[in-house]
Amino acid sequence: MSRLDLFIDRMVSQRACLDHAAALVGEMSGPVFELGLGNGRTYHHLCSLLPPRDIYVFERAVASHPDSTPPDDRVLLGDVFDTLPEALVRFGPTARLIHADLGGHNAEKNDLFARRISPVLSPLLAPGGLMVSSDRMYFDDLEEMPLPAGAVPGRCFIYRR
């Protein structure tokens, strides 16, 4: 597979999984966490699916497209290893959806990062809440869910508490 093929599969899978997860948590209360703003494409998509004021963005440096930049009071600025524990104190285990897209181009580094971040993320999710991730995560206490139609296995993952 070419890098273009892999990129397209990841984008198509992100969209399919976010659409699916947002529909499943639509009736739940609780915040939505977007981890990794980047250009803001997935944030912009989430805003089309769920109330934008419910969405809190975790990012170490905001550099998104102007159309896809969250309001200041919905940004938790800094390294997620600092801001996620702070969010647990602030929100408790209430997140109805967490989307994590924090990885870069190095698959090995992404996997190491996923192993470190998994136990930090898991306590934030509400019972019945969903986690969508571009990388395989390492949870003892969350169940991996089947992917929706249109998502490519291995390019996106969904977990539920």
Interface residues toward ligand SAM, by CB under 6 A? 36-42, 58-61, 79-80, 101-102
Residue with tokens 């109805």: 96
> How many other C-beta atoms lie within 10 A of the C-beta of residue 26?
11
CB of 127 to ligand SAM, least distance (A): 26
Amino acid sitting at position 134: S
CB of 128 to ligand SAM, least distance (A): 24
CB 150 within 8 A of CB 16: yes
Token reading at 68: 């896809």
* Closer by beta carbon to ligand SAM, 90 or else 127: 90
* Closer by beta carbon to ligand SAM, 102 or else 130: 102
* Closer by beta carbon to ligand SAM, 58 or else 139: 58
CB of 110 to ligand SAM, least distance (A): 10
Q: Helix 107-121 and helix 80-91: axis angle, to 10°? A: 20
* Closer by beta carbon to ligand SAM, 30 or else 36: 36
Residue nearest to ligand SAM (CB): 38
d(CA 23, CA 50): 9
d(CA 38, CA 58): 10
